[in-house]
Amino acid sequence: MPTVEELLRGGTERLRASGSESPRLDAELLLGHAIGADRTTVVAHPEVLVGEDAEARFKAGLERRAAGEPVAYVRGFKEFHGLAFSTDARALIPRPETERLVELAGAEVRRRLTEAPRPEGADPLRILDVGTGAGTVAVSLAVALRRRGIGREVEILATDDSPDALELARENAVGHSVGDRVRFLEADLVPPAVGGGWSLVLANLPYVRSDAIDGLPIAASFEPRHALDGGPDGLAVIARLLDRLPEALTQDGIALLEIGSDQGSAIGTLVGARLPGWRCGVEADLAGHPRVARVERP
C-alpha cells in the first residue's frame, strides 16, 4: 500500500502537469476527502498507509481535477466562514473574499439591534440577500446571528433568478439548521418591497467583465457563466440593483455590495451617476483590496 506522502507526491505532479494553479493544495484536499480526513491530518501524517479503496477514490478525484473541474465540485463542499457549504454546478463556488461581506453585515445588524433600546414587540430587522446563489451569505449571517442569540430579531429573505441555485441554497440552509430563519424567493434582483422595504440589502452579484471570463482559470468554466458575467464593464448587474435601491431600502437602510478588487473607483462613479446625492464608501478585504461598497441615502 502507498503512503500518504507517496500519493501526494504523485498527485501533485499529475496536477502540475495538467495546469493546476495549486497542485499540492489540491492534492492534499482530494486525498483528505478520499480517506475521510481533513487536510491538516493528511499533512501531519505523511507516513500513514492508504488502502486500495481510498487510493482509487483519490485517483478518480485527481482525474476530475486534472480535467479542470473545481476541487469544491469534486469534494461536493466548500468551507466558508467556518461552515461547510454543499457545492455543485447549480451555483457559484463560495469565495473567501465574500466573508468580508458577511462580517460587515453582521456588524451592521449588531449595531442596529444594540445601539438603542428596542421597543417590546418591535418588528424584526428586515434583511435582503440579492443573488444568493448557494445561500452562502444569507446562511452564514443567519448562523452567526443565531450564535449571538439574536437570530430571532432579524428576518432574512434571499433571492435569485435561478431555481436550481435556490434549491441548493435551501439545502444549505436546512443543513445548517437555519431553514426556518431564511426565506428564499425566485426573483430578478429585488421583489416588491411589501412592508416598507429592507434595512439592509446585501449582494454578491456578478462583477467579472464579459471579455475577461474566458481568461479565468479553467475551473471557472464549470461554474454557471451568468453568475460571473457582469457585462462589458463588470458592473452592469450591480447598476440594475442600484436603480432599485430607492424602493428597496428603508429611509435609514444601507446596501452592502461586493465588488471586484479593481472596481473601487468605478463603483463610486456609478453610484454618483445612478443615485445622485447618495453616499458610497468602500471597505477593503483582508488583503487591502477594495471589496465591499456601502451605499446609503444622503
pLDDT in tens, 125-181: 999 999 999 999 999 999 999 999 887 889 999 999 999 999 999 999 999 999 999
Rounded mean pLDDT of 46-61?
94
Cell numbers linked to 70: 473545481
Q: Convert the pLDDT of each residue in 70-87 to its tens digit.
A: 999 999 999 999 999 999
pLDDT band with cut points at 50, 70 and 90 for residue 196: confident
Looking at residue 194, what is its pLDDT?
Answer: 67
pLDDT at residue 121 greater than cutoff 80: no
pTM for the model: 0.92
Structural contact between residues 282 and 267, judged by C-beta atoms closer than 8 angstroms: yes
Over residues 227-263, the pLDDT tens digits come to 999 999 999 999 999 999 999 999 999 999 999 999 9
Q: Are 112 and 199 in contact, with CB atoms under 8 Å apart? A: yes
Which residues are bridge partners to 200 per DSSP?
Answer: 127, 254
Q: Domains (ranges, CATH) in the chain? A: 4-67 (1.10.8.10), 94-296 (3.40.50.150)
pLDDT at 31 (0 to 100): 95
* Predicted local confidence at residue 115, as pLDDT: 79
The closest of 54, 51, 65, 48 to 11, measured between CA atoms, is 65
Which of the 8 DSSP states describes residue 212? Answer: G
Rounded to the nearest integer, the mean pLDDT of the chain is: 94
Say if residues 215 and 153 touch (Cβ distance below 8 Å): no
CA 236 – CA 258 distance, rounded (Å):
13
Instruction: Compute the Cα dihedral for 28, 32, 34, 35 and give only its sign.
Output: positive
pLDDT value of position 117: 65
Instruction: Tell whether the model's pLDDT for residue 120 goes beyond 80.
Output: no
Distance from the first to the final alpha carbon of the chain: 67
Answer yes or no: is pLDDT of 119 > 80: no
| Separation CA 184–CA 182 (nearest Å) | 7
Residue 22: is its pLDDT beyond 90? yes
Q: How far apart are CA 111 and CA 115, in angstroms?
A: 6
- pLDDT 10s digits, 264-279: 999 999 999 999 999 9
Q: Kindly state the percentage of the chain with pLDDT values over 70.
A: 98
Encode 164-174: b = buried (16+ Cβ within 10 Å), e = exposed: ebbebbbbbbe
